[in-house]
Structure 1
């Protein structure tokens, strides 16, 4: 695997538990900003450690979004 640095990696994707349900417009703006940062490095796959983030990011990108454990599982 080759990791790509992400600009503003510390910023939230907008999921934050029920935040994406209670504040969908703001959560969508945060997600769009996060996707732009993640895709700026032209990754083949977006990896996350958080299922909530994964579910929030998936509809906003054509790239596969996977849990990092899934990636380790496919590595032989």
Structure 2
């Protein structure tokens, strides 16, 4: 479920739109997360990997340090 208080363009929580998540799920809070497609080496299938913001940032820093793999 997407939090409408989050603005994708500015990547901030600006609360301009009504946040329906709080109406239907009052115990949940909106937060940063990323989803990446990856290949599972166990079965070779494409799967969705859910990552928290901090882990995704660390992966991006490591990728920068390693450079272009091609």
Normalising to structure 1: TM-score of the pair?
Answer: 0.24
Higher relative contact order by CA 8 Å / sep ≥ 6: 1 or 2?
1
**Which structure has the highest strand share of the two?**
2
Q: TM-score, normalised by structure 2?
A: 0.25
